[in-house]
Amino acid sequence: MSRLRRATLGAVTALLSAAVVSVPPATADTVLPFTDYQVGGTLTVKKLDQSITLPEESTFNGAANLTTGELSGDVFVPEFTSTIRVLAIPTQVTTKLDQAQPVQGTIAVDGGNVSIRSSTSAILRIRKLGLGLLRVPTTCRTAEPIVLTLDYDGPLAFPLTFDGVTTIPRLTGCGLLGPTVGALLSGPGNAYHLTLAPPSGS
């Protein structure tokens, strides 16, 4: 190889090396994790004018990517029993909320304020009805998921609160109880109030 060719190759190699060195390294996204965050709140059944309180063991696990503005995660609500009054008679209702769609949406932080636009949905299952000493197992569930819109605009301070109104779809799989239970629960205009806070002790 001639001196000229070697010199040319050396110059090209040096230029390529300088170009690689000059490329800035990719910056990592800023991600805020949510690990076992506590979910609380109530769902008020409009037709009964009574509220069902979520159990303390309800949690949210997910992440907020502050760089891309994406928010995602999963809500877990264990089986729980609430007491409501049906025709002035205390009735125990054992229910389970099974997530149908994970929490999906956007998040934007501006100084000390945060803006969240997201939603989730769940199938409401009624496992058991109790009247006095009588316990009746059921396979009742909503024919479609209950959709919850989770929007928030305010200070970046916990607990975050989410308020809205949803429709409880018609019930299916209830057998002879279907018409009665459906008439009591199904319908629009059911208000909900949800909270999100870090785990106790954190």
Q: Helices (DSSP H) in the chain: which residue ranges? A: 3-22, 178-185
d(CA 75, CA 142): 18
What average pLDDT values come out for the chain (202 residues) when binned by 10 residues?
Answer: 43 39 62 96 93 94 96 96 80 90 96 95 89 76 96 94 96 78 88 95 68
Amino acid letter for position 173: G
Q: Measure the N-to-C terminal CA separation of the chain; round to a whole number of Å.
A: 68
| Beta carbons of 93 and 131 less than 8 angstroms apart | no
User: Residue 46, SS3?
Assistant: coil
Instruction: Tell me the pTM.
Output: 0.80
Q: CA-to-CA distance for 182 and 167, rounded, in angstroms? A: 12
pLDDT at 10: 42
Alpha carbons within 13 angstroms on the beta-carbon side of residue 124 total 23
